[in-house]
């Protein structure tokens, strides 16, 4: 069954996290242009993109597979955010804000997957 991705709360939060990631990485040092900055941005875009790609599939099984990929990218993003914080690229309050959103999206995707497979 196809889903309209624009109506999915998981997609909406993924887009918000991607936007937050772009803002956060704008202040990264120049030497990270092709390192963490680029990786964080691609990873955050991947989360939302895989939700969209999965939502276009004709079966819930296929959708679930793309949600797994999205969830993996989300955990990857979380790790890279922590590494960036440890490199002193931003303050603790910014880490807490984006990590809270990431954790919430992880929970939401997992819950969505459970309902999808019923």
Given the candidates 1.20.272.10, 1.10.10.10, 3.50.50.60, 1.20.1440.60, the CATH classification of the domain at 5-116 is 1.20.1440.60
Give the tens place of pLDDT for each residue, 27-69: 999 999 999 999 999 999 999 999 999 999 989 999 999 999 9
Say how far apart CA 18 and CA 52 lie, in whole Å. 14
Say how far apart CA 31 and CA 71 lie, in whole Å. 28
Say how far apart CA 7 and CA 107 lie, in whole Å. 18
Q: For residues 14 and 70, is the Cβ–Cβ distance under 8 A? A: yes
Please enumerate in sequence order all residues whose Cβ is within 8 A of that of 107, keeping only pairs 6 or more positions apart, or say none: none
Say how far apart CA 31 and CA 98 lie, in whole Å. 23
Per domain, the residue ranges of the chain are 5-116
Q: Look up residue 18 and give its two tokens.
A: 């991607």
103 backbone dihedrals φ, ψ, rounded to 5°: -60, -40
| CA 91 from centroid of its chain's CA atoms | 20
Give the tens place of pLDDT for each residue, 94-104: 999 999 999 99
Q: At what angle do helices 60-86 and 9-25 cross, to 10 degrees?
A: 30
Q: What percent of the chain has pLDDT over 90?
A: 94
- Residue 1 predicted with pLDDT over 60: no
pLDDT at 58: 86
């Amino acid at each position: 069954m196809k889903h309209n991705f624009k109506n999915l709360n998981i997609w909406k939060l993924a887009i918000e996290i991607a936007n937050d990631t772009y803002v956060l990485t704008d202040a990264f040092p120049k030497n990270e242009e092709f390192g963490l900055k680029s990786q964080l941005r691609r990873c955050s875009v991947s989360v939302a993109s895989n939700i969209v790609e999965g939502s276009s599939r004709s079966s819930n099984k296929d959708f679930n597979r793309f949600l797994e990929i999205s969830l993996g990218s989300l955990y990857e993003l979380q790790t890279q955010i922590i590494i960036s914080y440890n490199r002193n690229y931003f303050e603790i309050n910014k880490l807490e804000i984006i990590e809270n959103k990431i954790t919430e999206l992880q929970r939401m995707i997992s819950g969505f997957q459970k309902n999808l497979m019923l």
